[in-house]
Chain A
Amino acid sequence: AQSVTQLDSQVPVFEEAPVELRCNYSSSVSVYLFWYVQYPNQGLQLLLKYLSGSTLVKGINGFEAEFNKSQTSFHLRKPSVHISDTAEYFCAVSGPGSARQLTFGSGTQLTVLP
């Protein structure tokens, strides 16, 4: 079984500042890793994913994440945030099997301040 830990429940940051949202996972098998974003009163939208290959993954809206197998981490970063990035961000991991059932972290609320 796999699990995901998002270390920060809330991250306030000023506009145009860089941000890092932390995610650690545990799994005894190879996994796929995802970041989803949820804007208020909306569903979850895929931000980026790591399947294999390059450990640096680029996603939508200028976000990127780095897979670190030795540290079992998949932190999300953006060099300069905008007010519109205010949302909740979920890290997720999937395990073996064709369904690749997703297990989500508890979420990190990113609030971008003017």
Chain B
Amino acid sequence: DAGVIQSPRHEVTEMGQEVTLRCKPISGHDYLFWYRQTMMRGLELLIYFNNNVPIDDSGMPEDRFSAKMPNASFSTLKIQPSEPRDSAVYFCASSLSEQGHYGYTFGSGTRLTVV
């Protein structure tokens, strides 16, 4: 099992540009989570999906952020337009519902820098 795969590992973009982060969860996992990590705010849950359906997006900071999960093996987090304050490490994680209490498997993250 290759684990949770995120791409790109690093992204540098100019303010105002659109940014798309990608995630491939572990095959068979039915929950997918997007987290953001910053020095100031720590780890924040942005949104999570169950069986490709968004369940809770209350952590999405504003309308510039959107997330989709078109199928069980792929999810995207999009920021449009990007701003310097969006600079952070974005993590994707997945879990299997029956084993949710075992915790999540995290990807290696995407480090986003908006200049």
Contact = CB atoms under 8 A, between A and B. Distances in A.
B101 interface: yes
Contacts, number: 60
Interface string B51-71: 000011000000000000000
Contacts of A32: 101
Contact of B55 (A42, A44, A99, A105): A99
B28 interface: no
B8 interface: no
The SS class assigned to the B binding surface is strand
A102 interface: yes
B103 A99 contact: no
B102 to A, nearest CB: 7
Counting contact residues on chain B (CB < 8 A from A), the size range is 20 to 34
A94 B106 contact: no
Given A43-B109, A44-B91, A102 B104 contact: yes
Given A36-B103, A43-B4, A49-B102, 12 more contacts: A34-B103, A43-B106, A44-B91, A45-B106, A46-B104, A49-B101, A99-B48, A100-B101, A101-B33, A101-B45, A103-B45, A104-B43
Interface of A: 32, 34, 36, 41-46, 49, 51, 90, 92, 94, 97-107
Task: Name the 9 nearest CB pairs between A and B, nearest first.
Answer: A43-B106, A100-B100, A104-B43, A98-B97, A44-B106, A43-B108, A106-B42, A46-B103, A32-B101
